[in-house]
Amino acid sequence: MFSLQWARVDFSRKTIIIQESKNGKPRTIPLDRVAFDILAEKSKIRNIKYDFVFISRIGTKINCHNLRRIFNIAVKKAGLQNFRFHDLRHTLFSSIFKWEIFWVG
């Protein structure tokens, strides 16, 4: 997601196109209402100089190594042990089932 470019966001079809998927084939992903609204708002204030949707403070593509470093600092400050970035995904889905949120956009 951090490599998402505005050219890959199709507002008319409410989709994003992932050129480099795991299987090597392009994928079209539908945007739910929340994601669409966020991208629409973000597009109003985007920096035309850069095509990336998510950029750093200096306008460059977000560096995954820096993101991981910052995440690890936050985990340490929170006092969590053995918590990985990928665990956020598991936490999200566990919470969805716990709170019985069964919503499809």
C-alpha Rg value of the chain to the nearest Å: 16
Sheet bearing 27-30, strands edge to edge: 9-10, 15-18, 27-30
> What value does the mean pLDDT take over residues 13-26?
84
Report how far residue 14's alpha carbon sits from residue 32's, in angstroms, rounded to the nearest whole number: 8
Q: Which two tokens stand for residue 69?
A: 């470093």
Please state the pTM of the whole predicted model: 0.62
Residue 72 or 47, more confident? 72
pLDDT of residue 98: 61
- Compute the half-sphere exposure of residue 48: CA atoms within 13 Å on the CB side of its CA: 0
The torsion defined by the Cα of 86, 88, 89 and 90, in degrees rounded to 10, comes to 100
pLDDT of residue 95: 58
Does position 64 have pLDDT exceeding 70, yes or no?
yes
